Amino acid sequence: MPTRIANLWIIDDDPMASFIIKRVAELGELAAIITIYDEPRGAVDYLLQHKNSVEHLPDVILLDIYMPDLDAWGFLAEFSKIKNELKKTVEIYIISASSNLNDIHQAKSFPQIKAYIQKPVTKEKLRDIIESHGMNS
């Protein structure tokens, strides 16, 4: 079980939530590279541009649900189209303040979603994600 991953992405339009998750990951030394996207379109574009570059692709994406323009479900639809072209398996975790059962059930309908994590994302929750990385892939 890894105690640290190479590349963690946070896709969340809330800068404070992203900052806190990044800081928790840094303090726990859970990822070598931590990248924040405040909107999913930029992440999709980056994935397309770097699909053949293992070192540039994320190991884990923490994805917020509710964002303007392209929400998590739109990102996942785009990701589904390109995931087989990526030279690395990318694990996606939904992170949300929502406890809405419809959101939880919808997240479970996407096979690439590893888990639904309720905010706040704590060091313990992040450590669990990192430790389970690569299992059952």
Distances (CA, A) of 129 to 86, 96, 104, 115: 21, 15, 17, 9
Q: Give CA separation, 34 vs 5, 58, 109, in Å.
A: 10, 9, 27
| DSSP per-residue letters across 70-84 | S-HHHHHHHHHHHGG
Of 22-26, 46-50, 69-73, 130-134, the least confident: 130-134
Please choose, from the candidates 85, 81, 72, the residue with its C-alpha nearest in 3D space to the C-alpha of residue 113.
Answer: 72
- What pTM did the predictor assign? 0.94
Instruction: Summarize the confidence of residues 9-20 as an average pLDDT.
Output: 97
**Mean pLDDT value across the chain:** 93
Kindly list the structural domains of the chain, giving each domain's residue range(s) and its CATH number in brackets, ordered by start.
5-132 (3.40.50.2300)
Structure confidence at residue 3 (pLDDT)? 81
Contact, 124 vs 25, CB < 8 A? no
Nearest to 12 by CA among 44, 37, 47: 37
What pLDDT sits at residue 137? 47
- The percent of residues above 90 in pLDDT, for the chain, comes to 89
What is the SS3 assignment for 64?
Answer: strand
How far is CA 82 from its chain centroid? 16
Tens of pLDDT, residues 38-91: 999 999 999 999 999 999 999 999 999 999 999 999 999 999 999 999 999 999
Helix (H) / strand (E) element for 106: namely: helix 101-108
The residues that bridge with 64 in the sheet, in sequence order, are 95
